[in-house]
Amino acid sequence: MSESAFDIEDYLEQHRNKELLRFVTCGSVDDGKSSLIGRILYDTQQVLDDQLEALGRDSRKFGTTGDVPDLALLVDGLQAEREQGITIDVAYRYFTTERRKFIIADCPGHEQYTRNMVTGASTADLALVLVDASSGLQQQTRRHTYLVHLMGIRQLVVAVNKMDLVDYQQHTFDKIEQAYRRFANQLGVEGLTCIPVCALNGANVSRAAEEMPWYEGSTIVECLEQADIDELRSSHQPFRFPIQYVNRSSNDFRGYSGTLASGQVRRGDAVTALPSGKTSSIREIVSYDGSLEQAHAAQSITLRLEDEIDLSRGDWLVHANELPRVAMAFDARMVWMSERPMLPGRQYDLKLTSIDAPVTPEFIHHRVDVNTLEHHPAEQLALNEIGYCRLRSSRELTFDAFDRLPHSGSFILIDRVDNSTVGAGMIVRPVSSDHDDRPEHVTWHEMGISKRARAQQKAQRPTVLWFTGLSGAGKSTVANALEQALFKRGHHSYLLDGDNVRLGLNRDLGFSDDDRVENIRRIGEVSKLMADAGLVVLSAFISPFRADRAMVRELMEDGEFIEIHIDAPLEICEQRDPKGLYAKARAGVINNFTGIDSPYEPPLDPDVVIDTEKLSIDECVDELLVYLKQRGVLIG
């Protein structure tokens, strides 16, 4: 091997062994985040000659810095970003110095794109927060600072940029630093460094600024090189292995595949499966390169156990002496990312490691004012708002507190209708009877007569018949006719009609999305009480949202909720228009009318479908009676 080849191999080996630091840039719009990153890339000689040539052409077309190359264009690659002069999406860039390697996440400053900033901060070890010296702290500066702290980032570097616009005056920098430190102290931030910079000419970016002789601290690059990575990352993490799928590559092979989320595992280790609690030991650790004696965090592996245990996607393998929490409910800090607000009582899909489960926000403890950090009561979370909420699942979930293990303590919420990501959450604590915030003196009173006894007396099984469909489809008509038929046969029932309920119990509710959710929640609770009385409950409501109907189903015992879709095309419903509502909605007299300017989500898998366009009322009733006898609702 030649000497030059040896030198190259030695250099590449040294490069591979360099430490890697991931950091995120954040702050308000136009504070100069992209310009600062472009300056860092330029000063550390990461820009190739052809990129510099292209930068010159782009600067003449899109630049905002006059005759000087606009270094922000090295990062803002989207056409819309260049045309508007803002960052829209998260841009990742790589650079290296003699000491370590870096991955930068350049995040947008606009409030509209706060969700993108959360994405960039989710994998960062350090946050570089920019402040425009001529503008001072902005609301988005505080919001981003709160978010990076919320995401577990404990070391912040604050770059007070555009010092040239304030003539490099020390008192301006001191004033901004003092204001920022006051805010950071309220959050409990300890690792904080403030640096006056000018990204345009590179002052205090990679070179000491002659323009600011009063500053004697580190430059931005020096600060990034000197950051203590071991302090930023916990030295010991417990073993967490979320199972992604069961690997059956042959008849005699059963393994559990996934990415080791944290800690390490060795062949022969005793492990516990969660949430079942069953125990076994590691028989083999299989990787792409063959069998291993041990594996560590971030490796993709397949684990074989000594015992046959029923495991599936979403289950965890852990060490018995370092158990996570298992609970059906938890409190979490939520960052809301959707224009449709988060509403307690509405159901969402949760994704946490390999776990997929429906969850329902029960209530919001408080909303956080990012300017003052004060807590305010809230009944919903709007776009970009941050709140402390309680969520509940229909089954047990396995997780850690985010402060302990971010990977297994963070989650996202998915809208069940359009499959969009609507929220990001950080788990604070599980909720058990010890953590339940309901008043201690409010408990369920056990009756002397059971639900079963009441139902046997009436020769029927307690059931909620939930009629859903568009206005004019025939819900109330069919439900009313069915109740008359039940009455003639000696059964005990009660019909809850949408209009009747809104004249009394729900007269305080309107027809906005959140009022519709609360309307159905109350009806669900009333239906549950009536079912406890042993009745057959007929509930005739449009109930346009699938999540709300699913919420009511979960209130009932298994088999007690029967979803009946009264189906009729919109044009038929408009032709019938028994109350003249469609005509008023078309004329703009009525707002938020289902089917016109508010959506209806038809059931995906209803228990019964009744087509009132094809069947007469008597035929609808006969079909339902046959079904109820087959289901065992009607006895005798």
Q: Which residues are catalytic?
A: 543
Q: Which amino acid is at 129?
A: V
In angstroms, the CA 342 to CA 338 distance is 8
Cα dihedral 169/174/176/177 (nearest 10): 140
Neighbouring residues of 411: CB distance < 8 A, sequence distance ≥ 6: 332, 350, 351, 352, 399, 424, 425, 427
∠ Cα 438 443 448 (to 5°) = 165
- DSSP calls for 526-583: HHHHHHHTT-EEEEE-----HHHHHHHHHHSPTT-EEEEEEE--HHHHHHH-TTSHHH
Q: Is 394 helix (H, G, I), strand (E, B) or coil?
A: strand
What DSSP assignment string belongs to 570-623? HHHHHHH-TTSHHHHHHTTSS-S-BTTTB-----SS-SEEEETTTS-HHHHHHH
Q: Which helix (H) or strand (E) holds 226?
A: helix 220-226
Q: What separation in angstroms does the CA of 570 have from each of 88, 519, 548, 579?
A: 40, 23, 21, 15
Q: What is the distance between the alpha carbons of residues 176 and 30, in angstroms, rounded to a whole number? A: 17
With left for phi above 0 and alpha for psi between -120 and 50, is residue 383 left, alpha or beta? Answer: beta
Edge-first strand listing for the sheet containing 191-196: 91-96, 100-106, 19-27, 126-132, 155-161, 191-196
Q: How far apart (Å, rounded) are the C-alpha atoms in residues 538 and 556?
A: 14
- The helix or strand, by DSSP H or E, that contains position 35, with its residue range, turns out to be helix 33-43
Three-state SS annotation for 472-540: CCCHHHHHHHHHHHHHHCCCCEEEEEHHHHHCCCCCCCCCCHHHHHHHHHHHHHHHHHHHHCCCEEEEE
Between CA 434 and CA 281 the distance in angstroms is 33
**Pairing of β 290-292 and β 294-296:** unpaired
**CA 321 remoteness from chain centre:** 30
Contact 347, 394 (CB under 8 A): no
